[in-house]
Structure 1
Amino acid sequence: MTDSPPHRLRSHRPYALAVTAAASVLALTACGGHHASVTSTSSADAAAPAEVITYGHQQEPPCVHGGWIEQGYLSHQVLDALVSLGDDGTVEPWLATDWDVSDDDLTWTFHLREEPTFSDGTPVDAQAIVDNIDYWLEGGNSTARVWLEGYVQDATAVDDHTVEIALADPYPLLAENLTQPYFGIQSPTALATRSAEENCSAPIGSGPFTVTEWNRGTNILLDRRDDYDWAPATAASQGPARAQRIDWRFLADPTARTAALRAGELDAIYDVQAFEWTKLQDEGYETHLYNTPGRPQQISFNTTRAPFDDRRVRQAFALSLDREAVVESVGKGVIPYEGNGPVGKATDGYSQTAADRYSFDPDEANRLLDEAGWTQRATDGTRLKDGERLDVEFPYAGGRTINQDGAAIIQGLQQQAEAIGFEVTLIPFPPSEAAAGAYTGQDEYDLSIGYWTSINAGILHVIWQQEVGGEPNASNSAFFFDDDLEDLIRTANSTTDPDAQNALYRQAQEFIADEALSIGVYDRLSTLAASPRLHGLRQENSQGGPVFHDAYLED
C-alpha cells in the first residue's frame, strides 16, 4: 500500500459565510435558571437547566438519523463520523486518525482512535464501523446506500482499530463523501438489540449530545455527554460541549420563528426569509449562510409522457423563463440564481456552459413550440395541438422541499411560462404527503422541483444511475435512463486525477443540458440567524447544518 495523506487539499470553495452586524447589540434573555444537573422535561415550556440553547428549526423529520438532509442536521449532534470536512475543503480526522489507499486504488484502510465509546458503553472499534457499513449497504440508510452501492464490496475489521474497505472500482472521493452527516456511526449493539422505532427516535452514537426526549410536533431535547472528548479536528475546542442542553424546536412558520428570535424566546433559527436577512443583521443578529454544493433547486422534466417527451417542448419551456429575474426579485440579493440543473456553482467540476444553455429567449421558445406542432391558441392564450391544450402539472412540496421564498419563485415562473402559451397548474402539497412519497411516480407530474445536497459532483451518479438495488432509480425525477450518461459519470467517479475527473463531470452536465432534462433555478441555501448572546455556533462544512458542540450563551 502507498501512504495517502489524510488531509487532501482540494480547491477552495465558498462553503460558509458568517456575518455579524456592526449595529448595536440587542440584549436578549435566555431560558431557564441555574440547575446543578440536566433533568428531562416533558415539554418545551417546562423548567430547563442552565446553559440551554433554544433553537428553532423549520421541519420535523421522521427520524433523528437517515438519508434526508434535515435528519443529517440532527444526527450530526449525536452521531460522529470517520472523517470531517475543513473550511478549505480538506478532509480531516475524526473517529479515524488517518487512512491509506492501495496502489490500485481498490483498498482503503482507516486507522481509528482508541478512546471513543458510544453513549451505551459500546466501544467505537473496527467491528462497529464494519457493522455500520453493512447496515448502510443493506438499506438501513438509503442515501448512504446509493453513494456506496456498486463501489464498496465489503468492509473488514483487520484488528480492533483498523478497517479495510474493498472497492469494486476506484472511488477517489470516498473519504470526502464520508464527511456527510448521512454517514454518522451508530452503536452496533443498539442496531442489533433495539427496535427500529427506538433507533429512529433516539439513535445511540458517540457524539457530544444524546437524545433525551422527543415531543413529537414540538421539540427534541439533546443533552450533553459529559465524557465526550474526541471532537473532530475541525472543532474549535475539544472536550464536552459547552452547553448542557439543546432544545431543538420545530416551528414551520418562518414569521413565527423570526418573531421568537426577536422576542428572546429562541437563541437561533434556521431558514431565514430573504427579506429579513439584512434587517436582522442591522438589528445586531449574527447571520450564517452556506451555499450547499450538489444539485441546486432545479426543475426536472418528466420525459415519459406528453408534452415533455418532446425535447423541443422541454427546451421551449426552459427558454420561456427569465429565471434569473424572478430569483433576484424574490431573493433580495440573498438567494443566488443558478441556471445549471445538475450541480450548482459551489460544486467542483461545475459547467458554466451547461448553466448558460437556456438563457431567457421567448422568440426561440415560440419557434420551438411552433416546430413541435403547438401552433394554435385557445382564447386565453394557451397553445393547442390537435385540439389538446399545452397544460402541465407542477406539484411541489410546500414547507418541506420548498420554503416560502421558493414558492414565490415558482409562482413567478408559472406566470412567465403562461405568457408563452403553457398552462401551468401548480399543486402545492404538505410535508405529510411528501413524506409518504406523493407525486413521485411517472404518471403523477409533468414538472418536478427539488434539490439534493452533496459534497461533490458525484451526486450525478446518485441521481442519473439507472438502478439502485436492482430497481429503477427513484431519484431520477426525469425518468431518463441512458447507458452512455451513466457510463460517463461512472468513469468520472473512478478518475483519480482531479482535473480529468472534473472535465468528465462537466461533460455529463452538458449532456443533461443538451437533452433538456433538468434546468437550474436557484442555489439551495442553509441559513441561520443567532442572538448576539450565542457564541461559537457554526455550520458544518459538508452540508451546512448547525453545529452546537462549541456553542455557548454569554452576555
Structure 2
Amino acid sequence: MRRARRFIMFCPLLVLALLFMSLPALSQDMASGGAIIEPNFGDDPTTFNPIISNDGTSNTVIARIYPDFVGVDSETVQYMPGAKGALVSDWDISEDGMTYTFHLRDDMVWSDGVPITAVDVAWFLDAVLSGETSSPRQELIDRIESYEIIDDHTLSITFDEANCTLISTLAPVTPVPAHIFEEVYGDDYAGMDENEYNLNPTVTGGEAFSFANFRPGEQTTLLANPDFADAEMGAVIPEGWVYKVVTDQVVQMEQFFAGELTWVASVPQGYRDEVKERGAAGEFQTYETPAGTIRFLSLNTADPTNPQDGLDEDGNPIDQGHHPILGDARVRQALNYGMNFDEVNEGAFFGTGIPVASHVRPTDWSFPAGLEPYPFDADKAMQLLDEAGFTDSDGDGVRECNGCMYAEEGAPLAFTAKTNAGNTSQEALYTILQDQWNELGFDVAVEFVEFGTLVSEFTAQTYDAIGVFWGLATPADPNGIASIFLPEADVVGAGYNTQSFNNPRLNELIAEARTIPGCDVEVRKEMYGEAYQILRDESPWIWISTGDVLLTAQTNVENWAPRAGGSRWNIDAWMVSEM
C-alpha cells in the first residue's frame, strides 16, 4: 500500500494536464495561480440553469458562475447590502413594508462584456413567477405580487404582505443573462428543462469564474473571470476550478492523499482522525466548523401511486390519499422510537453525529428550550404499532395490517427506504436502521440509488422514504419551514413538500411568525418553537443528525481561509503552487 501511494504521488501534474487539456489556451493576462481541483462526490450536475436547479451538485457550480441578487456577509453571516458577489448594493423599504426598492451595482458584466442589469433579474423572475417551469422556488410565486424595472440599476419588488423574512425569501433569485436566455428559451418556460443550453451555457459572469466545459462522468471546468469586480487581490488568482467526479468517499480520500485534489469540503467520518493527526503534523491544512446540514429521512404521507399537488388553483386542499404504511403518524413515531441513535452514531458516524429533534440546528436563534430528540424505546415503538393496527398474527416476524387505518387487511408492514449510493456513512446508516426497524416487525427494504435518480423520485413524490441531507439556510431562517412543510410547497415535480404534509396549526403558526408586527424575536421564537414541536411529533421527516464538518486542503494552497459563513468565500484569492 505504501508503494502504491508513493507511485500515485508522481501523478498530480499529469492529472492536472489531463484535466485542462480540452481548454483553450490561457491568455497571458489571465490568472496564473494554479488550478483548484475539488471533488464532486456524487453524480453529475443536472443543470447550470439557476432557474430550475434543485440539487446541491448543480448549485455548487452555479454559485461559482452567477452572482447573487442579495448576498450574505461571510463574516457576520447576515444579509448585507453590498455583500461580495451580490448585485444589490442597497435597498429601501416603503412605509407599509410591502415594497422593497433595490439599488444595483453598475460594475458587473457578463462574460461577453454585456453589463448585468435589472433586466437580468427580471428575466429570472418572469420565468419563475410564470409557474410554468420546474423551479422549486414556490415561495417566490406565493410572496411576490409584482416588480418594476425603474432603470438599469434600480428594481422594485412588491410582496403580498409585510413580513419579517422578505430579504431571505429573495435568496434564490439569481440574475441570468437576459439577452442570451431570451434568444435560447424565448417564452417557452415549460420546455426549459429539455434545452441543451442548460448544460452548455455560453455566457456566465458576475462571479469569480466563467463556464468552460462539462464532461459527463468526469468533471465540470471553469476558468478565471478576468472581469470579476470583487476579487480579494484585485484579480482572480487561480486560473480555473475543476469539479471532478469521484465515485465514492474512499476514492475521494485516496486522491486527496495522493495530491490529486486541492481540498475536501467535508472529510468523511472514517478519515477524520487520520486527517486531524496528519494536519497537526503539518501535512495538510484543516478547519472544523458546525455543519450546515441535517441528515433526514423523508416519509411520504400520501399515496405514492397517484401523486397530487397539495392545493388546487383556488388554494383548496386536494385529496391526495394516504400512504398505506407511513400515512399513520403512529407508525412514523414508532420509527423514531425504534432508532437506537447511539448504535447508529458509532456504526455509521464514528461517534461524531449530534442528534437533532426537528427542523432546526441547536445553534440557531429559534431553537426552543426543551425540544428533545426521540429517545430509543423499542417497547414504546411496538406499543404504537399495536395501536396502529399492525400486529404479527402469523408469527413470521413481520407485522401485518389487522385493523390499520390505510393499508389493506393482511398487508405487511413494509416499505422501501432509498438513499444515495457511494456515500459510505449513508449506506452504513440505512443498513443499521433496516436491522433496528425490522426487529420491531417492519419489513424495510433499503436501496442505494444514483443521486440524480433519487432527486427525480423525491420531487415526483413516487417514493416511500428517501434519506438525504438538507442544507439549512445561512443566515438561519426558521421561515424555511414554509418551503418544505406547507401545502403551498406541495407541487409534484417542483415543490419541496414532497412528503405531502399538511398541518393546519403549523400553517397558522408560520404565517403569524412571519408577519407579526415589529418582528419581535422572542415572540417569533415562541411560535417557531411550537412549530418545531409539531414537526417533531408528527414526523413527516425523521431528523437524524447533524455534526461538525472537517475541511482540509493541501499545504500548497495559499490564502485558504474558510469561515463559518462560507468555506469558499475567498476562493478567488487561492493560489495553488506546485507540490
| TM-score, normalization by structure 1 | 0.82
AA at the equivalent of 1:322:
N
Correspondence for 2:415? 393
SS of 2:253's equivalent in the other structure is: helix
Correspondence for 2:205? 205
Change (3 A) 1:273 1:223: same
Q: Distance between the aligned counterparts of 1:292 and 1:530, measured in 2?
A: 18
CA contact (8 A) 2:90 2:102 kept: yes
Correspondence for 1:11? none
Correspondence for 2:250? 255
Shift of 1:441: 5.5
Shift of 1:348: 3.7
Shift of 1:478: 2.9
AA at the equivalent of 1:252:
T
Q: Distance between the aligned counterparts of 1:291 and 1:152, measured in 2?
A: 33
Correspondence for 1:42? 22
AA at the equivalent of 2:381:
A
Shift of 1:224: 0.7
| Match status 1:184 vs 2:200 | no
| Match status 1:61 vs 2:61 | no
Alignment of 1:226-305 (within 5 A): 226-231=226-231, 237-284=232-279, 285-289=284-288, 291-293=290-292, 296-302=295-301, 304-305=322-323
Correspondence for 1:406? 426
Shift of 1:259: 0.8
Shift of 1:439: 5.9
Q: Distance between the aligned counterparts of 2:157 and 2:447, measured in 1?
A: 45
Correspondence for 1:360? 376
AA at the equivalent of 2:183:
T
Correspondence for 1:146? 138
Correspondence for 1:23? none
SS of 1:164's equivalent in the other structure is: strand
CA contact (8 A) 1:324 1:521 kept: no
| Match status 1:339 vs 2:319 | no
Q: 1:511-536: CA deviations, max 9, x gaps?
A: 22232332211128766431111133
CA contact (8 A) 2:137 2:495 kept: no
SS of 1:264's equivalent in the other structure is: coil
Shift of 1:288: 4.2
Please point out which of 486, 490, 507 is paired with 1:486: 507
Change (3 A) 1:470 1:208: closer
Q: Please report the RMSD computed on the Cα atoms of aligned residues, expressed in angstroms.
A: 3.4
Change (3 A) 1:524 1:164: farther
Q: Distance between the aligned counterparts of 1:328 and 1:469, measured in 2?
A: 35
| Match status 1:426 vs 2:446 | yes
Shift of 1:310: 2.6
Q: Distance between the aligned counterparts of 1:325 and 1:87, measured in 2?
A: 37
SS of 1:31's equivalent in the other structure is: helix
AA at the equivalent of 2:457:
A
Change (3 A) 1:91 1:390: same
CA contact (8 A) 1:31 1:52 kept: no
Q: Distance between the aligned counterparts of 2:33 and 2:293, measured in 1?
A: 39
Alignment of 1:8-157 (within 5 A): 31=13, 41-42=21-22, 51-59=34-42, 60-64=44-48, 65=50, 66-85=53-72, 86-92=74-80, 93-94=82-83, 95-138=87-130, 145-157=137-149
Correspondence for 2:467? 449
AA at the equivalent of 1:480:
F
AA at the equivalent of 2:485:
W
Shift of 1:360: 1.2
Q: Distance between the aligned counterparts of 2:134 and 2:401, measured in 1?
A: 42
Shift of 1:240: 2.3
Change (3 A) 1:40 1:332: closer
CA contact (8 A) 1:68 1:143 kept: no
Shift of 1:77: 1.1
Q: 1:61-105: CA deviations, max 9, x gaps?
A: 111342322222111111111332233322232322222222221
Correspondence for 1:349? 366
Q: 1:150-187: CA deviations, max 9, x gaps?
A: 111122122222211111112432323545xx433221
Please point out which of 463, 467, 475 is paired with 2:496: 475
SS of 1:484's equivalent in the other structure is: helix
AA at the equivalent of 1:254:
Q
Correspondence for 2:331? 313
Change (3 A) 1:294 1:51: closer
Shift of 1:189: 1.3
Change (3 A) 1:89 1:380: same
The alignment covers a number of residue pairs equal to: 511
Change (3 A) 1:538 1:252: farther
Q: Distance between the aligned counterparts of 2:37 and 2:198, measured in 1?
A: 24
AA at the equivalent of 2:360:
V
SS of 2:137's equivalent in the other structure is: helix
Shift of 1:218: 0.8
CA contact (8 A) 1:151 1:170 kept: no
Q: Distance between the aligned counterparts of 2:563 and 2:123, measured in 1?
A: 25
Change (3 A) 1:297 1:503: same
CA contact (8 A) 1:128 1:188 kept: yes
SS of 2:107's equivalent in the other structure is: coil
CA contact (8 A) 2:356 2:546 kept: yes
Shift of 1:353: 4.2
Q: Distance between the aligned counterparts of 2:140 and 2:16, measured in 1?
A: 47
CA contact (8 A) 1:207 1:228 kept: yes
Correspondence for 2:215? 215
CA contact (8 A) 1:42 1:215 kept: no
CA contact (8 A) 1:67 1:142 kept: no
State the identity %: 21
**Mean alpha-carbon deviation: is it higher for 110-119 or for 369-378?**
369-378
Q: Distance between the aligned counterparts of 1:291 and 1:511, measured in 2?
A: 25
Correspondence for 1:159? 151
Q: Distance between the aligned counterparts of 2:56 and 2:425, measured in 1?
A: 19
AA at the equivalent of 1:457:
P
